[in-house]
Each structure stands twice: as C-alpha cells, then as structure tokens.
Amino acid sequence: MRILPVLRLALWASVVTLALLTSASYVGAGFFAPAGLLILVALASDRRAPRAVQSWLWTASFGLTALGLIRVNLDEAPSIEHLALLLLGALTATARNRYAGLLIGLMASGGLVYVTLEQELLGPNDPRLFALGVLLATAGFAAGLAQEESDQTELLREQLADLGEHLKNVLACVGSGVLVVDREGRVATFNRAAERILGVQEHTVIGRELEASALEPMAELFRVRNDSEEGERRDLLFPSPLGNDVRVGYAMTPLEDRAGRRLGTILVFQDVTLIRDYEERMLRQEKLAALGRLVSGIAHEFGNQLGGVRGLVDLALLDEPEEAVAVLPTIRQTLTQSLETVEHLLRFARGTPLDPVPGVQLGEVVQRALGLLRAQVDAAGAEIELVLEEEAPTVSADTGRLEQVFLNILINGLHATSDCDPPRLRIEVTHDEAEVVVRFEDNGPGVSPEVRARIFEPFFTTKGALGGSEVPGTGLGLAMALGVVEGHQGKLTVGVSPSLGGACFSVHLPSAPAERDASP
C-alpha cells in the first residue's frame, strides 16, 4: 500500500480519537462511522479506482469528520489540537500537486489563525500560532508534492504494466521461437512459437536451469557461445519430446541493459526442417541432372567416334586385304582421338596440381599464347588487337597451365569468328587494387544467356558432333580452364564484348605486389 493513504488514515484516526477523548458531548459522533466506511472503501480500492474517485472519497471522509468534530464540540470551543489534525488530514486528502498543496496550506493556515483568534484559543503573540501556520503551509506543499510524485509513480507503473503486456503479446504472436536465458543459466522467456516448434510447454521450463529442463539439447549452444559468432545463422537438430527431430535455424544475440552490462542471451529460431529437406532433395536432383548430362556427353562423344571406327571396320571386312589395310590409319587416328578424350577426362577428374611461381606478368603469357597460334591466326585472316596496361602488377601463377587456358579461349574465339569478315579478336590486360584481369573479346555471334548457364559444364559444347559446327570439340576445354583459374584463387566469367559485340571471356586473378614477388 502507498504511504499517503496510510498517512491520511493515521491523521483521521488521531482526529477521531482526540475528539472522542476530550469531547463533552457525543451527539455528532455518528458522523465518524460513515467517514470511516468511506476511508475503508478508499483503502480497498487504492490501486484500482481512478485517482479522481480516490480524491472524492478522502475529501468526503474528512468533510464528514469535520461535521462530527463540530457536533461533538458544540458545548465547548474546539481545541487547537483538533483543528490542526483536522486541517492536516484535509491537506493530505485534497492536495493534488505541489502548487495546489501550497495554496491549500496557506488557506488552512489563514483559517487556523482566524478560528484560533476568534475563539481565543491562543493569544495573537503566541509562538505556537505562527509555528502551526508555517506547519500547515509546509505540510500542504509537502502533501501536494508527495501526491504528485505518487501519481507520477502510479502512471509510470501503469505504463510499465501496459508495456510489459504489450511486449508479452508481441512475443506470443511473433512467428519465430524466442528463448531468453539469464546469466545464471535459467530460462527467462519462452514464447508460444517456441512451444509449437519444439513441442515443449512453457510452464515446464520457465525459471528452471536450461540443463535441467526439456531444453537441455540447447544447453551446449550457451556453453560454447562465441561472441564473434553472435548474430550468425546456424542449424541445430533438436530431439522433440513429441518423438520427432526438428531442425531449427537459429541466431544468438546478447541481452544487455543500457549500460552495456550482460543480462543474458537471446536465442531466436525457426523450424527449417522442411526447407532443409527440400534443399537436400534439390541438391540430389542437381547432382543427378549433372551426372546425366555428363554421361550423355560421354556416350555421345564416344558413340560418334566408336561408331565411325566400326563403320570403317565393316567396310574393311568387305574389301580386299590391300584396301582394308588402307583404312587402318584412319581407324588409328579415330582411336587416338578417343584416347585423348579419355586422358582429358582423367585430367579433369583428378585436377592436375598447379605449380605456381611468383612474379608472372600475364601480358607475357598472353603474348606467348598468341605466338603459338600465329599460324592459325594468319590462316584465318584474323585481326588481333592487344592492349597491355603499363605497370600492371604481377601474379603468382603456373604459366604452363595458364597458357593452356589462354590458348583454349583464343581458339574458341577463332572458331566463333570463322564466318566474320574480317575475324577480329581483342585481348586487354588491366588491373585494379586487388586483381589483374585479362579480357578476350571477339566479333562473333556471342553467347546466349541459355548457353552461358551451361558453358562451363563438362561435355557441353557448341562445336563438332555435339554442336553441329564443322570444328570438332569435346566440351572439356572450358571446364578444365575454369578449374585451372579457380585453382589460382581467381574466377572465369563470360559476357558480351562492349567494343566488338561478340563474346567476352574474362580471367580474374589476384595480384601479387612486387615486394611479395621477390624470392628470399
């Protein structure tokens, strides 16, 4: 109970007791009973009734008490003690704030002085009269201030209760599970979604230590908590009491007050069981689809080659021995191509280890690759534009393997521009703060978005028997080129040439500054 109602009750009881003990007549004592009843009602409804109702109850109580006090003292003058206590009680009952309290206190002081002098209870120079006047004025101000603070406290308490109820409703309705564990390891919050997801009832875990509750499988998360990983999304397989395993995706964040003191840990989680199952099924489907395309490519490639060999053997069996021997070189060449395809497949599957060396200038590697293709370039009548950026940084690379990558891309460019007049290739070496980029552009037909999505798949090709072009292809060149580039911690991309309008293959490799290139 608040202190102001208790103080009012004490003052009222003092007034009534003093009146009954010193009164010569009890005619008006009946007014004290309804006043006491109203006080009991005010005390019982202290926190439930509106403040205005409380004020009226207390004011009416002291009004009835004043009537009773006048009646019981009708045969003799009222005592100064009666008046002082009655006025103090009235002050505490009616003062709603410091200014009103001060005003009421001054009015009570004036009334006390008037009645005292009129009834000659005290002399005009009696110091007690001045002291009582100052006491009433001060008491009025103090009572108003106390009431003001009490009202403010009550308002804040109501707002806090409303806020708490609001937050409770928000937590109850939010779709994610919320688990709050305090610094002592006890469960402080467990919302409705958490009950539904984990199959654990709130009343079985609230206030209990995490390790001693049905949430014990989650205790390890809080024991090995790493502040650097807070906020990251992770998964946990939770054995639900309902008999099924639930995979939850969760994130942990610290619970702190405004001063930054750690109060506990918040765990927010969702049921991702169906999502993870779907992802696993999709991954299996993708693997099976990739395997199917790989097997289809292998079957198609070897079917073409071995079918040709079988046809030549069938013709040889029908011809004369001399003519049969004449087709043996063709048969041998076809079988050699098949063996080369097998070697490429093994190299692609094993991923030949790289042997990078520091201080490699990619412009020089490009120039060597162009030198190896000089005959093909001249035969095709292609125009080559080579743009080398000055002071381009070096890289750490396996020059032999990079030459193969550049040769493969250049050969693809020559094939793509075979119908152009004239064929044009543009090679540019540029760099930024973190990487060196080699771009291979051509004026061919380009690469459609559908082809871009599969261009680095093994055995996917737009050339030769698989693609309908006159130039043979196995579909392994770009797949192996991608593996080599990624082995150098780089990336290989395909897009549209901004200057020639055809395809643009870009090789991005991390640069190695000169101070790190030098050998010790």
**Which range in 33-47, 409-423, 446-460 is most confidently predicted, on average pLDDT?**
409-423
- Secondary structure letter of residue 36 according to DSSP: H
Cα 516 from Cα 10, distance rounded (Å): 88
- Dump the DSSP string for 140-197: HHHHHHHHHHHHHHHHHHHHHHHHHHHHHHHHHH-SSEEEEEETTSBEEEE-HHHHHH
**Which range in 255-269, 283-297, 446-460 is most confidently predicted, on average pLDDT?**
255-269
Residue of 234, 138, 240, 238 whose CA lies nearest to 199: 240
Higher pLDDT, 269 or 229: 269
- Dump the DSSP string for 300-335: HHHHHHHHHHHHHHHHHHHS-HHHHHHTHHHHHHHH
Q: Are 81 and 129 in contact, with CB atoms under 8 Å apart?
A: no
Q: Is the pLDDT of residue 441 over 90?
A: yes
pLDDT digit string, tens, across residues 38-86: 878 877 877 677 766 777 777 777 677 766 666 665 445 556 666 666 6
pLDDT confidence band for 108 (50 / 70 / 90): low
- State the alpha helices, DSSP H only, in 175-272: 192-198, 219-223
Who contacts 331 (Cβ-Cβ below 8 Å, separation ≥6)? 309, 312, 313, 316
Residue of 407, 409, 411 whose CA lies nearest to 365: 407
Q: Is the pLDDT of residue 356 over 90?
A: no
What's the pTM?
Answer: 0.43
With a pLDDT cut of 90, the percent of the chain lying above it is: 11
454: part of which helix (H) or strand (E)?
A: none
Q: Are 493 and 453 in contact, with CB atoms under 8 Å apart?
A: no
Higher pLDDT, 337 or 364: 364
Q: In this structure, what are the phi and psi dihedrals at residue 283, rounded to the nearest 5 degrees? A: -65, -40
Cα 9 from Cα 43, distance rounded (Å): 9
